[in-house]
Chains A and B, each alone.
Chain A
Amino acid sequence: MSQFQQEVTGLEISVEGNTSDSSVSHQSAIDVKGLYKSFGRLSVLEDISLSVKEGEVVSVIGPSGSGKSTLARCICRLERIDSGEIYLYGQRTDGQKHSNSDIARLVGMIFQQFNLFPHLSVLDNLTLSPMRILGLSREEAQENAMALLKRVGLEEKQNARPNQLSGGQCQRVAIARALAMSPKIMLFDEPTSALDPELVGEVLEVIAGLVDSGMTMMIITHEMMFAKEVSDRVLFMADGNIVEQGHPKKIFTSPEVPRTQIFLQRLLAHFGKELTEGEKRGECSHGA
């Protein structure tokens, strides 16, 4: 099991894990086919199809209510889908065949609101699942956790409680906690939208570090400059559809679809011409 080898760099291991997994017959990490999802009468996702290759970094942008979050939540099975198929590394995961722990070994999720466990120390936040789910001993789990905390620059906070941390620190702990399960894919659902502007940078830095390590990632974000820098591909979603996708340069400089053009023009008007302000807040912090 790859988790046992994970020592200092969790990410190298997850790449190793990918190649050693017998179920990997093709290069696709995420395959979504004909996905429909609605909440009651409100249709949120309409016939979404999407494929993310192993090691690829995909950013998803688009206005609030476009279905970006719901797409990520369907992929990690937080939402049941109405119809369609979702495959993670060739395994169909949208049904109830897989346990939560099966899914957790494949995909980690980062929430806008961090969702750290407030009654546990930072270290215990990181070790709970590896001990209870992966069956690691306390020593192994703590060793891994400390290595991950070091990676996100918070090893001195191991005994702190989440309420003693800043938002940026909370999100970095949440990222370390997700990595402690050695998932093959990481999903980020607006990871910086709930943060004070001055704390966004430290979180983006950690995410950029993951990108460099070759992790397969899907990042829902309003940080356009960041998306432009780190992504292999950018998806623009609106009204439950993937309106346009392509290389970040193409999407940001010469979008073809009018809907995309309007969205980006509005952003430009809002944020200034260059899209350079990496720590600007996105338009929405709903539910904050």
Chain B
Amino acid sequence: MELDFTAIAPYLHMLLTGAKITVQASVLSVLFGSFLGIIVGALRVVPIAPVRSIAAGYIYIIRGTPLLIQLFLIYFGLPSLGLNLPAFIAGIIGLSINSSGYVGEIVRGGIEAVPKGQWEASKVLGLSYLKTMRFIILPQAIRNMLPAIGNEFVTLIKESSLLSTLAITELTMVGQQVRSVTYASFETFIVVGIIYLVLTSVTSLFLRFIERKWNVS
């Protein structure tokens, strides 16, 4: 068979617009997801057993169910409770919550990897639990976590393709539209795949840069 990319060339700008939506959704979800994840991860290690259990349960459910089902629950399920969210908002919420479960587990691991002596030194210097967390533990934990967080960001970009099921016109959705107009399925999705690859590569490089910078300082 022969590949003919000229058929989809006129639609390239549409694909790039879709990629823009993908980037927007991913960046927003990464920000909210990380913020939420750091809180969940911190709650996962507090010295209050019931709080730890709740955080553990949250992570258990989030990581144990498909993202697609979580998105459906938010977009199709919540309206039956009277909560109608625009697709894009629902998508961001779903991705963020999903990501927070994974980030939370990464954060927990990062915190637990900080030596016990750091807690003890902080305590005898008079720092409260929260101040120890904020000034001593988290800054070190985040450094430990950066590689794993980077992977999570890359994963999130790829998983944002599931937003197409909520009719959000992100890259995958646009790809389907282009395919249905041009019938050039192979070419379209090759291009779509390449665009994803560029996005994930740029993200990886950027995070590696941050990692290196953080380790030097």
Chain A contact residues, CB within 8 Å of chain B:
76-78, 99-105, 107-109, 111, 113, 115-119, 128-129, 132-133, 174, 177-178, 181
Contacts and interface: CB of A to CB of B under 8 A. Distances in A.
A76 B124 contact: yes
B120 A115 contact: yes
B208 interface: no
A6 to B, nearest CB: 15
Nearest to A134: B126
B143 interface: yes
B125 interface: yes
Interface of B: 115, 117-118, 120-121, 123-128, 131, 135-136, 139-140, 143
A111 B117 contact: yes
Contact of B125 (A102, A113, A181): A181
B126 A101 contact: yes
Contacts of B143: 119
Given A118-B140, A119-B143, A128 B120 contact: no
A103 B121 contact: no
A129 B123 contact: no
A177 B118 CA distance: 14
Nearest to A180: B125
A107 B125 CA distance: 9
A115 B118 CA distance: 6
Give the one of A99, A105, A133 with max B CB within 10 A: A133
Contact of A100 (B115, B118, B123, B139): B123
Contacts of B126: 99-105, 129, 133, 181
Given A119-B139, A132-B135, A78 B125 contact: no
A105 to B, nearest CB: 7
Contact of B127 (A111, A118, A133): A133
Nearest to A109: B124
Contacts of A107: 124
A178 to B, nearest CB: 7
15 contacts: A78-B123, A78-B124, A102-B126, A109-B124, A115-B117, A115-B118, A115-B121, A119-B140, A129-B126, A132-B135, A133-B125, A133-B127, A178-B124, A178-B125, A181-B125
Contacts of A117: 118, 121, 136, 140
A101 B128 contact: yes
A103 B127 contact: no
A177 B125 contact: yes
Contacts of A104: 124-126
B212 to A, nearest CB: 16
Nearest to B128: A100
Contacts of A77: 123
Contacts of B131: 132-133
A116 B122 CA distance: 9
Given A100-B126, A100-B128, A103-B126, A78 B139 contact: no
Contacts of A118: 140
